[in-house]
Structure 1
Amino acid sequence: MKRFLKTHLAGLMLLTTVSTQGMDSFIIEDIRVEGLQRVAPGTVFNYLPVKVGDSFDQRLAAESIKALFKTGFFKDVKLEQDGDTLLILVEERASISSVKLEGNKDIGTDDLKKALKGVGLSEGKVFDRAILDKVEQELRRQYYSRGKYGLKITSTVEELPRNRVEVVIKISEGKVAKIKQINIVGNSVFSDEELLDAFELSTGNLLSFYTKNDQYSKQKLGADLERLRSYYLDRGHINFQIESTQVAITPDKKEIYITVNVKEGEVYKVSDVKLTGKLIVPPQELTPLVQIGPADTFSRKLATETSKAISDRLGDEGYIFANVNMVPEVDEATKTVAITFFVDPGKQVYVRRINFRGNTKTRDEVLRREMRQMEAAWASSTKIERSKTRLERLGYFQETNVESPAVPGTTDQIDVNYNVTEKPSGNIMAGVGYSQVQGIILNASITQDNVFGTGKRINFTFNNSQINTIYRIGYFNPYTNLDGVSSGFDLSYRQTNAQQMNLANYNTDVATAGGNLGVPLGEFDSLRFNLDYNHTKLKTSSNTSEQVYNFIQDNGDTFDYVTLAAGWVHDTLNRAIFPTDGGAQRLSILSTVPAGSLQFYKASYKIQHYFPIAKDLTFMVQAEAAYGDGYNGTDGLPFFENYFAGGPQSVRGFMANTLGPRTTPNPTTGFGGNLPLGGSSKLVGTAELLFPVPFMHDNKSIRLGAFMDAGNVYCGAFKTPNPDDINCYAQSSGNFMRFSTGLSARWLSPFGNLSFSIAEPLNSQPGDRTQLFQFSFGSGF
């Protein structure tokens, strides 16, 4: 006869027991489970706190039911006794047959399903209503953070045969609630406009579609309130307070009003500044680092920067955990503040080991030779950071991070761990252009910047386009010795059809062999030297211009000459790819040796600098000036050594190489006139605002830009054309600077580097060749 031991438990009820008066405990001789469909009996036995042979009583009954409910597999459990057999009757929870999402646009279906799977709401899982409720709450949080307060979520659970359910989540996102007004109440010293300029949140502007600054977020408002507090504290208002903040939304949930109540307080001046504590370095070295002094208006920003500057200085002496606290003493009577910077250097630490992780291809020695921080030396925060910058400048890594954990069990040792993410260092480059005259133009090259992970570079170029037939091989070793002296060589043969390059009608065959040497002068400066032998053969046709014929008549059509070049480079860029800070200057001088067929020289200076103006915004400026001329019997710079401008690499919006002086027709045939020939001097410049792709702030392989280019090439020393001067050709379109503006994009794609530009010339002249869209691409390996 079955004796009832336990009532069933269902839903979210707590465990309850019934009276068992007159019931004796019994020894379990067998356990039987009924009602299972998907769950294996062994799973039930694993969770049960009893087994055959145990003495079963009411306490174990309660523990057994609690254990089975805790699994989440069952929505009902009963225990019964059949003689000496424990009978377990269960009703399984339904399994999820499918999860459907409808109406979601802001958040992708794949992303949502991945998140749902992470919390257990996915096909094949046991259905739990509590989990579905949590999912709805999380969806509301996600959409509210996007400013969609009109969100409506409807979840339906449809029962299916074989104890299954289908979950359908219908989402009505609604429109984004926009900030209609932000009010600051209680301010008198500063206007609302001044204060709101420091806010990230705004009532909206032309860039709001990108910045989302008109969409309310509790986190953004918190950050803005801290900016507001800093604004006042940096201007002497020590007792500034934000008394309250109200956020109101209209009944239709489309507009938000924010009100911030403030109490400004009075302005405090600095009465005295002291340095105390264990200074470590001489006080006279720390005093210039103090950015705030007596009689200045108190500024928390300047005080914080002072603390950081002193801490960084101590970090260069091995005290990288130095703590510099700013302690203010406020005098309410005189409205002044006495500032004391208390220096606690902590322990001096040295570097036990420098470790590299993530360099699956590049050898450790290539990274280690870039280190400015040495092992077993006192740690220097400046050297550790500079070493990171040098790794980034190699161009082998997509990302570089550094950590300096303390060595366990010690108080004076740290390890320095550099974590890098390799990127393809080989490149198969292809340049593509199009013009109505030439059609499609192709060229290609293969470069491997990190051969077998050694840091050495080889390149092979083959080009068989309408413009060039090129064969070139080159080798470069950036570390010929441990002092950083570099060396390399280049061998090349090039046949060029200048007319296909938008230039005058002539052909050149050029063979070159040369070597190069680089000598470092310091951390940021180096000298470069090149020695090259050149063999040049000129070819003409009936359409060749007067200038080319006259040059050949005076100098011949075959030339052998040796060039010597020297250059100085000052480079402080923070990385090789997509730099955001620092600059580079390059000065180079090239001259032929007097014994050759031609005697000429060339000199150029190029400067480039990047200014970080915000987290995701960088302003870049660059300029280049170049000049060349002949000497010792060579009249002017040979035309095939001229400078060129126009195209993707200089003044965008103008067809490549087409700016500058033009040719005059061949007096015999009347052909070959009004074609670009380049010039012996060049001036070009660019100003560009660089920023990431909207909605893709974390993407480190794409960068956009808004630019303005300026430049031109000239005959002689930037002088006005003189038709009687054979070295200053007719320049029908004028010799003044050309300007263009537009948008650019650069993508470090898996297939290589792609660059695009859309540019509009601002002052094109009759005869100029313009080109709205220009691009080039390559393929990485």
Structure 2
Amino acid sequence: MKLGITLRHILLFVVACYTTSAMALEPFIVKDIRVEGIQRTDAGTVFNYLPVKVGDTMTDEKATQAIKSLYGTGFFKDVRIEVDQDVLVITLQERAAIADITFSGNKSFPSDKMKDGLKQIGLSEGLIFDRSMLDKAEQEIKRQYLSQGKYGASVKTVVSPMERNRVGIRFDIEEGAVSKIRSINIVGNQSFETKALLEQFKLTTPDWLSWWNKNDQYSKQKLTADLETLRSFYMNQGYLEFNIESTQVSITPDKRDIYITVNISEGEKYTVTDVKLAGEMLLPEDEARKLISVESGEVFNRQKVTDSSKAINDRLGNDGYAFANVNAVPDVNKDAHTVAFTFFVDPGRRVYVRRINLTGNTRTRDDVLRREMRQLESAWYGADKIERSKQRLDRLQFFSDVNVETPAVPGTTDQVDLNINVTEKSTGSVMFGAGLSSAEGVVFGVTVNQNNFLGTGNRVSAQVNTGKVNTVYSLSYTDPYFTPDGISRGFDVYRRDVDTSRLSGNIGSYSTSSYGTGVRFGVPLNERDSVGAGLTFDYTSVDLTSSSPIQYRRYCNGNNSNSTDGCENNSLLLNLSWAHDTRDNVLFPNKGVYQRISSEIGLPGLDLQYYKIEYKHSWYKDVTPSVTLMLNGEAGYGDSYGDNPFPFFKNFYIGGVNNVRGYQTSAIGPRFYDSVNDRGYAVGGTKRLMGNAELFFPVPGMKDSKQLRLSTFFDAGSVAGDYKYQVGGVDRTLSTSVTDLRYSVGLGVSWFSPFGPIKLVLAKALNAKNETEDPNKPYNDDKTQILQFQMGSQF
């Protein structure tokens, strides 16, 4: 009975709110409208919400509509309508506005970031104050702290009235300490040790890297992902019936320590007894079976089953069957612990791409994107062509994100559209940088690049890089689509200065200044192969000193080996190359092959008549998802074919942080004794051979880092040639072989830091040769270097 009376009184009160303010209005013509009580709201805003204007007839119905309309704005907490001699009087009481939002005690999140977060839920300075939003704001702030593992965080809100019907809101925050995972316990495991299972988890108890990766802070999402990883681990080991029975997460009363317990049931290990194919087979059965990696007689592996279904699905997608479905149905024998699989293939309808729609490219022209498309409009759908198109757009480096969708065309069963949305990024840069190298010392550089000049996809670059050994000034322009078929054309102008006297005494002293200009072309043969050709006119002046080796002085001055005069050389250089690239990533490849053959030929008719040929072959294999094996081999050969000898400043050198580590830069190879300076100089050679085997792996605790990785390596290399010298005035020749290799092993760190790439190497030379200096003939005296480094881009 009391409840009934209460509800009736509430109902009467609500009705009174509408009727008392507009009770028994006699219809009248509105001569004027007056608004009272407003402090912040503009009168025009009120007029916009009124259903009546001056000159209209005011009625009870319109008065009720006006009250509802003004209440509905949310600006007012009280609305009254009165009449004063045919003047409509609107009396309003505004709701308070939020004048200020402040925070105290927040150390983990800056106040401006917290304000941005609250704005997303409707609480912001200048908005109408709604007390119901405070609880929501408190929960949002707590949620942010929970994401950082601070389960003891508390939030209190203080609302302070201010002048002009405004309020100030202050959030008093006690962050508390970060809750740490103190124990992760797995119960029920018999086949694997707990330590091996915990290695599958990203969540860990505190260790030396926890300050960086925060993996000792509990997250429900992370735990869910870890449990799925654990399930996959067991499934891939044959445990078909594996199950996670329960998971308990407990926290101590002081909210500092978290304990996780996972109860599992392993079940029995299953063996595959048979693999069959069924359904509509559009592929030859032999070809389809080659795509299935599951074999009869082996232990069940869920990953292999998933990969097999995907391989068949992708193969059908390449032929236009975009909606193919391949389902692996198991036939489980629980008594014998065996399982047989039947792959049911449903190709669906073959579809073609109706239209390619491009969005997001506000600066880049459409044709720059379309020329990278390998999937064509009005052609059969090809999953491999679409994926290759996406890869080519990514490799342009014009976009931070490339999103591809293939929605079905409404009203059809055999058509899809290819929607490509790109997010453009800045393609122009002016970089003022510095590098540091154990060989070059400090290197300063200024680089101006525009890789997408005026949205055309053309590249313009200007560089100035100065080091104590190498100095480069260059300007280049490249049109990657000089022809519609993808033939590129580029122009280069450069100056390069080399001063070997500043290279730690490893190389015979000389300096060169080269000026040149050239044109080059690149011709794609297919998606992975290309050839290049270029023609460059080069002028090189050689300066010698009294400490320059006799071989250098003879090159410039014939038999007058005592002269320190230099020489000048004009040459017309022909560059030819072929490249094959299947790497999945240019910076940090995980798999694929890169091959390149390049040649440099000094054409007849000018001073330099020589040729150099180089070959490089790099092979990458992902041993595990985070470990990559790299095998690299390089060979080079040079010789002259005219009257003049092979130019010594074109010799090959080896040794240093970028080839055979553990040896000083260019330190490997025969040396000649210089009596003036009482030391030996390496002179390089016309033959070069090098090999590297390197295993790349992530930094422990940072498996997902794309910027930092470790490596262990084995290097081998040598240079060789025919070296002329004199003994007692008689000319002699020493011929060496590139099979006289030097070896080294070591550890390396590569980091693509915000300051540029950094490389740090700790290496040990295994068979350095240190012969006694002999002023009468070439000798070996390899200079070693245990610690080597390079910071910044070396051009």
Q: CA deviation at 1:579?
A: 5.6
Match of 1:349 in 2: 351
SS in 1 for 2:720: coil
Counterpart of 1:116, as a letter, is L
Between stretches 589-598 and 387-396, larger displacement belongs to: 589-598
Q: CA deviation at 1:381?
A: 0.4
Match of 2:634 in 1: 625
Match of 2:771 in 1: none
Match of 2:792 in 1: 776
Match of 2:779 in 1: none
Residues 510 and 93 of structure 1: is their aligned pair in 2 closer, same or farther, counting only changes over 3 Å?
closer
Residues 16 and 727 of structure 1: is their aligned pair in 2 closer, same or farther, counting only changes over 3 Å?
farther
Deviations 1:170-203 (A, max 9, x none): 2121121111112222333333233322222222
Deviations 1:248-292 (A, max 9, x none): 101111111112222333334334333222222232321212222
SS in 1 for 2:756: strand
Q: CA deviation at 1:684?
A: 6.4
Matched, 1:234 2:241: no
**TM-score, normalization by structure 1:** 0.81
Residue number among 632, 656, 660 corresponding to 2:668 in the alignment:
660
Conservation of the 8 A alpha-carbon contact between 1:742 and 1:758: yes
Residues 402 and 717 of structure 1: is their aligned pair in 2 closer, same or farther, counting only changes over 3 Å?
farther
Between stretches 402-411 and 149-158, larger displacement belongs to: 402-411
Structure 1 distance, partners of 2:685, 2:216, is: 52
Q: CA deviation at 1:666?
A: 3.8
Match of 1:4 in 2: none
Q: CA deviation at 1:386?
A: 0.8
Between stretches 284-293 and 329-338, larger displacement belongs to: 329-338
Structure 2 distance, partners of 1:595, 1:661, is: 32
Residue number among 132, 156, 168 corresponding to 1:130 in the alignment:
132
SS in 1 for 2:305: helix
- In structure 1, runs of 5+ residues without a counterpart are 1-6
Match of 2:221 in 1: 219
SS in 1 for 2:679: coil
Between stretches 237-246 and 707-716, larger displacement belongs to: 707-716
Conservation of the 8 A alpha-carbon contact between 2:436 and 2:792: no
Match of 1:524 in 2: 528
Match of 1:270 in 2: 272
Counterpart of 1:348, as a letter, is R
- In structure 2, runs of 5+ residues without a counterpart are 1-5, 561-566, 769-781
Structure 2 distance, partners of 1:374, 1:243, is: 51
How many corresponding residue pairs?
752
Residue number among 568, 574, 591 corresponding to 2:578 in the alignment:
568
Residues 74 and 631 of structure 1: is their aligned pair in 2 closer, same or farther, counting only changes over 3 Å?
closer
Match of 2:563 in 1: none
Match of 2:188 in 1: 186
Structure 1 distance, partners of 2:717, 2:643, is: 21
Q: How does 1:348-497 map to 2 (within 5 A)?
A: 348-426=350-428, 432-433=434-435, 441-442=443-444, 444=446, 448-457=450-459, 459=461, 472=474, 474-488=476-490, 490=492, 492=494, 494-497=496-499
Between stretches 275-284 and 456-465, larger displacement belongs to: 456-465
Match of 1:246 in 2: 248
Between stretches 282-291 and 597-606, larger displacement belongs to: 597-606
Between stretches 574-583 and 192-201, larger displacement belongs to: 574-583
Residue number among 536, 546, 571 corresponding to 1:542 in the alignment:
546
Residues 757 and 429 of structure 1: is their aligned pair in 2 closer, same or farther, counting only changes over 3 Å?
same
Residue number among 625, 644, 651 corresponding to 1:642 in the alignment:
651
Conservation of the 8 A alpha-carbon contact between 1:659 and 1:712: no
Conservation of the 8 A alpha-carbon contact between 2:654 and 2:718: no
Residues 170 and 579 of structure 1: is their aligned pair in 2 closer, same or farther, counting only changes over 3 Å?
farther
Residues 672 and 445 of structure 1: is their aligned pair in 2 closer, same or farther, counting only changes over 3 Å?
farther
Conservation of the 8 A alpha-carbon contact between 1:660 and 1:712: no
Between stretches 535-544 and 318-327, larger displacement belongs to: 535-544
Between stretches 176-185 and 63-72, larger displacement belongs to: 63-72
Q: CA deviation at 1:378?
A: 0.3
Counterpart of 1:549, as a letter, is R
Residues 55 and 433 of structure 1: is their aligned pair in 2 closer, same or farther, counting only changes over 3 Å?
closer
**TM-score, normalization by structure 2:** 0.80
Q: How does 1:705-744 map to 2 (within 5 A)?
A: 705-707=709-711, 714-716=718-720, 736-737=742-743, 741=747, 743-744=749-750
SS in 1 for 2:100: strand
Structure 1 distance, partners of 2:644, 2:784, is: 28
Structure 1 distance, partners of 2:699, 2:119, is: 32
Counterpart of 1:102, as a letter, is S
Matched, 1:605 2:615: yes
Match of 2:772 in 1: none
Residue number among 154, 163, 179 corresponding to 1:152 in the alignment:
154
Match of 2:320 in 1: 318
Q: CA deviation at 1:472?
A: 5.0
Structure 2 distance, partners of 1:434, 1:227, is: 42
Structure 1 distance, partners of 2:23, 2:276, is: 84
Match of 1:292 in 2: 294
Q: CA deviation at 1:65?
A: 6.6
Q: How does 1:12-31 map to 2 (within 5 A)?
A: 16-17=14-15, 25-27=24-26, 29=28
Counterpart of 1:660, as a letter, is I
Q: CA deviation at 1:383?
A: 0.7
Residues 393 and 468 of structure 1: is their aligned pair in 2 closer, same or farther, counting only changes over 3 Å?
same
Conservation of the 8 A alpha-carbon contact between 1:478 and 1:485: yes
**Aligned-residue CA RMSD (Å):** 4.7
Q: CA deviation at 1:678?
A: 4.3
Residues 647 and 175 of structure 1: is their aligned pair in 2 closer, same or farther, counting only changes over 3 Å?
farther
Structure 1 distance, partners of 2:162, 2:302, is: 65
Identity of aligned residues (%): 41
Deviations 1:50-73 (A, max 9, x none): 89755538x986x87766555433
**Quick one: higher RCO (CA 8 Å, sep 6+), 1 or 2?**
1
Match of 2:142 in 1: 140
Conservation of the 8 A alpha-carbon contact between 1:651 and 1:709: no
Structure 2 distance, partners of 1:736, 1:441, is: 29
Conservation of the 8 A alpha-carbon contact between 2:237 and 2:300: yes
SS in 2 for 1:27: coil
Conservation of the 8 A alpha-carbon contact between 1:610 and 1:618: no
Residues 360 and 611 of structure 1: is their aligned pair in 2 closer, same or farther, counting only changes over 3 Å?
farther
Structure 1 distance, partners of 2:118, 2:37, is: 29
Structure 1 distance, partners of 2:367, 2:559, is: 52
Conservation of the 8 A alpha-carbon contact between 1:427 and 1:778: no
Conservation of the 8 A alpha-carbon contact between 1:514 and 1:530: yes
Conservation of the 8 A alpha-carbon contact between 2:591 and 2:628: no
Match of 1:174 in 2: 176
SS in 1 for 2:792: strand
Structure 1 distance, partners of 2:455, 2:85, is: 77
Counterpart of 1:277, as a letter, is G
Between stretches 185-194 and 456-465, larger displacement belongs to: 456-465
Deviations 1:284-330 (A, max 9, x none): 32121222243443333222222211111110111111122233333
Residues 595 and 710 of structure 1: is their aligned pair in 2 closer, same or farther, counting only changes over 3 Å?
farther
Residues 174 and 593 of structure 1: is their aligned pair in 2 closer, same or farther, counting only changes over 3 Å?
same
Between stretches 540-549 and 26-35, larger displacement belongs to: 26-35
SS in 1 for 2:652: coil
Q: CA deviation at 1:574?
A: 3.6
Counterpart of 1:523, as a letter, is E
Counterpart of 1:605, as a letter, is Y
Q: CA deviation at 1:463?
A: 6.6
Matched, 1:683 2:690: yes
